[in-house]
Structure formats: structure tokens, C-alpha cells
Chains A and B, each alone.
Chain A
Amino acid sequence: AQSVTQLGSHVSVSEGALVLLRCNYSSSVPPYLFWYVQYPNQGLQLLLKYTSAATLVKGINGFEAEFKKSETSFHLTKPSAHMSDAAEYFCAVSENQGAQKLVFGQGTRLTINP
């Protein structure tokens, strides 16, 4: 069965610093991978997705993620953090059993220090 592990439930960076949120997945078939962001009191919003095309995927708000099959990773990065990036981030992998479900990680709360 597919699964996702997000390393670090809380990450804190300074404004202007590099953001790196880690996600490792387990899948028996080539996966589709997603990053979602959740701002306070809102639903989840799709940041970016990997669907077996380019391994470096660019998303909204300056975020990008790189699919590394050898490392079974899909880490999310942003070169320079902004205060508005403070939110919870979820990595998800497709559950490829014909059901089109997503398996979500536990989330990483990103805090930006001024």
C-alpha cells in the first residue's frame, strides 16, 4: 500500500531563508505526487503535482519540488521564505488501486521568523 512520511512536524525558518520540507513516499507503482498547503481556517490548496513528466515541478507562490525515484523523495523547496508562507503543508501520493484516492502525510507546520 502507498504511504507518505513527512519528516518534521514543525519547521521554522527566517524570512528570506531557504524553505525545505521533506517528503518520502512508498509506492509499488510509479506514483503521482502532490503538495498541498493549508492556511489557517481554510481548506487544502494544491501547490504542485508530479505526474510522471518532468522530475522538477514548479508550483504556485515560488515553490518547487523534485521527484527522486532513487531516494523515493519529493521534497518541497522555496529559495526565499516570505511571511505569507506560514501554513501547514501536506504531501500526498496516489493510491493506485483504481480508486483515485490520495494518501496524505501528517503535515508539516511551517513557521516564518521575521
Chain B
Amino acid sequence: DARVTQTPRHKVTEMGQEVTMRCQPILGHNTVFWYRQTMMQGLELLAYFRNRAPLDDSGMPKDRFSAEMPDATLATLKIQPSEPRDSAVYFCASGLGGGSYEQYFGPGTRLTVT
């Protein structure tokens, strides 16, 4: 049963610290999406990749967030320095691309910045 995996599932950190979240997309999927979910804002698209190339990161605060795909099996989202307002659940999703819009979501990383 192919699934998107995310690590860590939970992260508590202090303001100013660097946070790295990792995602392993489903094997064979060539699109990867990063979302942030909060009670106030709902589900927000932060960035997405196709064939490891970043296509759009306009949803990310550029000064502190960065997203990369070092290889086809790993996507990372980094926050440096973290702030309390970054507290949220971060989801990674992957898709087949090639005209398919279906996205398959990971279980999320719940980030708390104190």
C-alpha cells in the first residue's frame, strides 16, 4: 500500500531554531506539494515541485522558508528561524502528474514553536 510518509510527526521547538520537515513521496509520483493547515487560514499551498524542479513557491514566506527536493524520493521544508506564528500542521502531498490532478497526502507534521 503506497503512501506518502512524513517525518517527524510532531515537533516542538523554541523560537529562533531551525526546523526541517521531510517527505517521501509515493514512488513514481513526479509532483510534490507542501501545504500548511491552521484553524484560522485553513489549507494553504506553500510550494510545489514537478520532476524535482520548484514550479511555484509564492505561498511561502521567502525570508525564512525554503523547500527542496534533493532527489526524487525526498522533499524537505525548512524554516529558519522559526517563529510562533509558524505553528501549524504541515502536509506533503504527491501526485502522478501527466494530467492527473489527484493528490495523495501524508499524515502531516504538527509543528509547535514556543
Residues of A within 8 A of B (CB): 32, 34, 36, 42-46, 49, 51, 90, 94, 99-102, 104, 106-107
A34 touches B107 (CB 8 A): no
B105 touches A44 (CB 8 A): yes
B105 touches A45 (CB 8 A): yes
Residues of B within 8 A of A (CB): 4, 31, 33, 42-43, 45, 48, 50, 55-56, 91, 93, 95, 97, 99-108
Distance between B114 CB and nearest chain A CB, rounded to angstroms: 20
User: A45 to chain B: which residues have CB within 8 Å?
Assistant: 105
* Known contacts A44-B91, A106-B42, A107-B43; A100/B31 CB under 8 A: yes
Please, how many angstroms separate the alpha-carbon atoms of A106 and B41 in the complex?
8
Interface of A is mostly: strand
Please, how many angstroms separate the alpha-carbon atoms of A4 and B43 in the complex?
13
User: A49 to chain B: which residues have CB within 8 Å?
Assistant: 101-102
11 contacts between A and B (CB under 8 A): A34-B101, A36-B105, A42-B107, A44-B91, A46-B102, A46-B104, A90-B43, A100-B95, A101-B45, A101-B48, A107-B43
